[in-house]
């Protein structure tokens, strides 16, 4: 019978605010790894359980297939007691210790979000605050680490049912996208002239644009 090994993997560098935890989650599913991933101050910590060959492939992929906006540093791997996990999950973040902080820069809107932005049938059509795990504001939103919605300027905007569904769906590109928003639950812009206010909402940026 093949032995199951448990490892604690830590990655520093630019690994928060770049879709890294959702990436680790999907990678664990692909390689049949159980355990968890969480943000810890400026790093990402992973508890990984699996066979030796699975863990080796998983560890290599953490660096070779990392999200485009990320820049993970070298892996730190130690043996860890088994927690006998049956699934892989994203845990709540931990904070409190000093850390090397790598704040992610704001990202230019990605091709997928641009397609939604210009699609009249999409619920984010012309919504100026559109974003996902691969694009959108990061540096301008973050008030503290670890990178979670309560530590951003989006903390006062409660998610609507549709955004919550996307945020919790591992197969959605907005899985754990902390700035996720839409015209129903997110912020709006308003352009005010000396004559009258003109609301800039998800349905458009004003008449005649």
30-85 residue pLDDT tens:
999 999 999 987 789 999 999 999 999 999 999 999 998 889 988 899 999 999 99
Tens of pLDDT, residue by residue over 17-26, are 888 999 999 9
Fold held by 103-209: DHBP synthase (3.90.870)
The answer to whether the predicted template modeling score (pTM) of the entire model surpasses 0.85 is no
Give the Cα separation of 39 and 41 in Å (integer). Answer: 6
Please tell me if the domain spanning 4-90 has the same topology as the one spanning 103-209.
no
Tens of pLDDT, residue by residue over 115-133, are 999 999 999 999 999 999 9
Residues making up the chain, counted from first to last: 209
Q: Strand, helix or coil at 58? A: helix
Across the beta sheet with 4-14, the strand order is 71-79, 4-14, 43-51, 34-40, 88-90
| Alpha helices by DSSP H, the chain | 20-30, 52-64, 111-117, 161-168
Tokens matching residue 155: 């903390």
For the chain, the domains span 4-90, 103-209
Fold held by 4-90: Alpha-Beta Plaits (3.30.70)
> Quick one: which of 1, 62, 54, 7 has its CA closest to 32?
54
């Amino acid at each position: 019978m093949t032995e199951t090994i448990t490892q604690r993997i830590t990655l520093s560098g630019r690994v928060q605010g770049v879709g890294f935890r959702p990436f680790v989650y999907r990678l664990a599913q692909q390689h049949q790894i159980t355990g968890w991933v969480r943000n810890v101050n400026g790093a990402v910590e992973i508890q990984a359980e699996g066979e030796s060959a699975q863990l080796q492939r998983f560890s290599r992929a953490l660096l070779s297939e990392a999200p485009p906006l990320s820049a993970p540093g070298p892996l730190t791997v130690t043996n860890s007691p088994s927690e006998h996990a049956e699934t892989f999950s994203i845990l709540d973040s931990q904070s409190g210790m000093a850390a090397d902080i790598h704040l992610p820069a704001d990202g230019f809107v990605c091709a997928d979000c641009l397609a939604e932005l210009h699609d009249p049938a999409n619920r984010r059509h012309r919504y100026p605050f559109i974003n996902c795990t691969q694009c959108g504001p990061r540096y301008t939103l973050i008030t503290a680490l670890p990178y979670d919605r309560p530590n951003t300027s989006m903390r006062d905007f409660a998610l609507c049912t549709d955004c919550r569904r996307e945020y919790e769906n591992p197969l959605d590109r907005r899985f754990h996208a902390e700035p996720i928003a839409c015209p129903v639950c997110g912020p709006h812009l308003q352009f005010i002239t000396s004559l009258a206010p003109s609301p800039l909402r998800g349905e458009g940026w004003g008449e005649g644009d």
